[in-house]
Amino acid sequence: MKAFLILEDGTVFSGKSIGATHDVISEIVFNTSMTGYLEVLTDPSYAGQAVVMTYPLIGNYGVCYEDMESLQAWPDGYIVREISRRPSNFRSEDSIETFLKNQNIPGISGVDTRALTKILREKGTMNGMITTNEDYNLEQVLEQMKLYQVTKVVEKVTVKEKRTYLPGELGTEKVTPVKKVAMMDFGSKNNIIRSLLQRGCEVTVYPALTKAEDILEMNPDGIMLTNGPGDPSECVSIIEEIKKLYESDTPIFAICLGHQLMALANGAKTEKMKYGHRGANHPVKDLSTGKVYISSQNHGYVVIDGSIDKNVAETLFINVNDRTVEGLRYLGKNVFTVQFHPEACAGPVDSNFLFDAFMNMMEVVKDA
Catalytic residue set: 256, 341, 343
The annotation status of 216 as a binding-site residue, yes or no, is: no
| Cβ count within 10 A of residue 249 | 12
State how far the Cα of 246 lies from the Cα of 251, in Å rounded to an integer: 9
Tell me the C-alpha distance between 253 and 259, whole Å.
8
Residue 80 CA to residue 109 CA, distance in Å, equals 5
Q: Is 260 annotated as a binding residue?
A: yes
CA distance 326 to 320: 10
Q: Is 301 annotated as a binding residue?
A: yes
Q: Residue 129, exposed/middle/buried by CB under 10 A (0-12, 13-18, 19+)? A: buried
Q: Is 354 buried (19+), middle (13-18) or exposed (0-12) by CB count in 10 A? A: buried
Q: Is 298 annotated as a binding residue?
A: yes
188 has binding-site annotation:
no
How would you class 207 by CB atoms within 10 Å of its CB: exposed for 0-12, middle for 13-18, buried for 19 or more?
middle
Annotated binding site for L-glutamine: 45, 228, 230, 257, 260, 298, 300-301
